[in-house]
Chains A and B, each alone.
Chain A
Amino acid sequence: MLVRVARRYLPIIACSLLGLAAAEAAVAKTRFVAVTAIVEHPALDAVREGVRDELKAHGFEEGRDLRFEYRSAQGNPAVAAQIARQFAGSEPDVIVAISTPSAQTAVSATKTVPIVFSAVSDPVSARLVGAAGASGTNVTGVSDLPPVKDQLSLVRELLPSAKRIGVVYSPGESNSVVQIALLKEFAAKAGMTVVEAPAVKSSDVQVAVRSLIGKSDLLYLPQDNAVIAAVDAILPIAAQAKLPVIAPDESSVAKGALATIGFDYYQVGRQTGALVAQVLAGGKPGTIAWQYGAGTDLILNAASARALGLAIPDAVSRRAKKILGR
């Protein structure tokens, strides 16, 4: 009977022991930075690489005096919760939590282990921190609130006659919703209107873009995972309809969008890494003010401008970090 019971539970026991052994083997006298993100995705991965390189620049090298552990929740919040508990339990020197849900699970898992968040648009409404400045808790980090104001002034310089901004976004992504709200606010001040076309999934994006043709003078794409995943479907439709596209990242501009002002997420990662280094050097996260991402780049696509019959003003092209398709 006992044997039968033991056999029945063997899978659980084996699994638990496996986990224990793996955790025990990795104990060492080095600095330990535990990194997690909700999903593997080019922008979030760039943040992680930026953190790693910045730590290296501060003299923390992997394999020598740094243990750099990365776990992706693979888009599943329940797994994110388990990763947060695992990190809280293995007591790293710093937890780096990339994206809003990953940061929220980390903050609810530990009140003592230092947490540095990154790529969170609105850390205050996500309740990671109470207000601007130092949090006084175990949390600091970098917000990637998109430079909506700069993007809008770019639109006015490039397309002075444009009045209606068409937007495709996923209403389920909090980053996009924050961004759209800001866009509406600034657009209203500039006497422009925002025409929304929500798309729940990447497969809905194409239809949403078509619905904007004739109802808007340009297409604005937010930093939205569902939209970016469908950018190859969006750009040909926009090109056919002669809709200029303002994109959130450089790769979309390389594919044919007109322009972008946005973060280089690798640089956001470097900025995050600098905070991590401060904590590793003995800084208390509660006394280090959280910050907004710095350093946005303007990138233009001259070929797209020609196709639209658009002349890029000299004042704009002089500011550009890169002009593609010349």
Chain B
Amino acid sequence: MSEIAFAGAVEVGLIFSFVALGVFLSFRVLDFPDLTTDGSFPLGAAVCATLITAGCNPWLATAVAMVSGMAAGLVTGLMTLRFKILGLLAGILTMTALYSINLRVMGRPNIALLNEPVVFSVGERLGMAYPWTNTAVLALLVGIALAALAWFLATDLGLAMRATGVNARMARAQGVNTAAMTYLGLAISNGLIATGGALFAQANGFADVTSGIGTIVVGLASVILGEKFIRSRRMAALLFGTVLGSVAYRIAVQAALSGDGAGLRPSDLSLITAVMVAIAMVVPHVRVKRRVGVPA
């Protein structure tokens, strides 16, 4: 794996850590299986790319993309909480609707951003060396998101949200407005995911309506990998583990892509990726068994 390939893997991993953090918030903190993800990721890309090509400042475009993702999360929340649609189904409905909405936003299926100003341009201006410019900017952004989330989840509001996910009935008994917490959690989660989409579009020079396929799987895989790397009760550590999981996932994909010879075919990529994730998950189990004296 060359330096550029490695930097690329870290870069894509950091972009998708926004997705992973969003998925962590909905699936783990809120205990809400939200499938809006596959729609909110391309929504962020679509909104951001449309604004940038219209001459908008890339930082503002990214912020608006985040807000659009939050709105998508609220729609899913509205369907489950107000209209009592099953959470899983509500997410699928929003995701399906977003496909058409994304086409409406962009006006066509693919918007190119090559040679447009993007948030990563700031790295070049500061004289950072290729191929680490994007990665440095991203590391900063992920750091900010991580710190903000860790801070938020430790506030009274954040604790109320965590309580909603752990035991909603108990939380209600303590005077927590669980519906409001679910709305807020879904909004923040999808806002993060849409930010990931906006950054992906800017880093790769295009927004495409098909770019949402499989986002939720990658997000979940990253969360699970992260939990295997860092086991802690501290929220900040868990969030950091999620970011680490996302980067590790991309490095594994890169390794699978570089796997030349040994009878591997390019079409084996998905299998290799799945095997690597599985290995990462199995290794800790084997170790625990050994420790307690059960033959592995």
Contacts and interface: CB of A to CB of B under 8 A. Distances in A.
Contacts of B204: 77, 80-81, 84, 104-105, 108
A12 B251 contact: yes
A85 B7 contact: yes
Contact of B254 (A82, A101, A126): A82
B109 interface: yes
B267 A72 contact: yes
Nearest to B250: A82
Interface residues of B, number: 59
Nearest to B211: A77
Interface string B120-148: 00000000000100000000000000000
B258 A22 contact: yes
B257 A15 contact: no
Contacts of A26: 260-261
B208 interface: yes
| Closest 7 pairs (CB-CB, A-B) | A85-B8, A89-B4, A89-B2, A108-B205, A127-B112, A19-B255, A19-B1
B110 A174 contact: yes
A12 B248 contact: yes
A197 to B, nearest CB: 15
A105 B113 CA distance: 11
A79 B213 CA distance: 11
Contact of A18 (B206, B213, B255, B284): B255
Interface stretch (A3-11, A238-246, A250-258): A3-11
B284 A8 contact: yes
Contacts of A16: 1, 6, 251, 255
A127 B259 CA distance: 31
A77 B11 CA distance: 14
A82 B259 contact: no
A69 B260 contact: yes
A25 B262 CA distance: 12
Interface string A84-103: 11101111000000001100
6 contacts: A15-B276, A16-B6, A101-B208, A128-B114, A174-B109, A200-B99
A82 B253 contact: yes
A12 to B, nearest CB: 5
Contacts of A89: 1-8, 131
Given A76-B214, A177-B109, A105 B205 contact: yes
Contacts of A9: 229
B115 interface: yes
Best-buried of B5, B11, B108, B252 by chain A (most CB within 10 Å): B5
Interface in B7-22: 7-9, 11-12, 16
A90 B5 contact: yes
B209 interface: yes
Given A11-B283, A77-B208, A126 B267 contact: no
A128 B16 CA distance: 25
A20 interface: yes
Interface in A47-92: 69-72, 74-86, 88-91
A86 B3 CA distance: 9
A213 interface: no
Contacts of B110: 100-101, 104, 126, 174
B266 interface: yes
Interface residues of A, number: 54
A209 to B, nearest CB: 20
A232 B167 CA distance: 52
Interface of B: 1-9, 11-12, 16, 99, 103, 108-110, 112-115, 131, 200, 203-206, 208-211, 213-214, 218, 228-229, 248, 250-255, 257-262, 266-267, 269-270, 276, 279-280, 283-284, 287
Nearest to A130: B115
Best-buried of B103, B203, B206, B259 by chain A (most CB within 10 Å): B206
Best-buried of B110, B229, B258, B266 by chain A (most CB within 10 Å): B258
Nearest to B4: A89
A273 to B, nearest CB: 19
B229 A86 contact: no
B258 A172 contact: no
Nearest to A139: B114
B2 A23 contact: yes
A172 B211 CA distance: 11
Contact of B257 (A86, A126, A174): A86
B290 to A, nearest CB: 11
Contacts of A101: 110, 206, 208, 210
Nearest to B210: A172
A125 interface: yes
Contacts of B108: 174, 177
Contact of A172 (B11, B109, B248, B252): B109
Best-buried of A11, A22, A40, A105 by chain B (most CB within 10 Å): A11
A22 B261 contact: yes
A25 B206 CA distance: 34
Contacts of A40: 267
Given A81-B12, A85-B9, A108-B204, A20 B1 contact: yes
Given A82-B250, A89-B3, 4 more contacts: A11-B280, A15-B255, A85-B11, A177-B109
Given A16-B251, A86-B254, A89-B8, A104 B112 contact: yes
B266 A71 contact: yes
A22 B251 contact: no
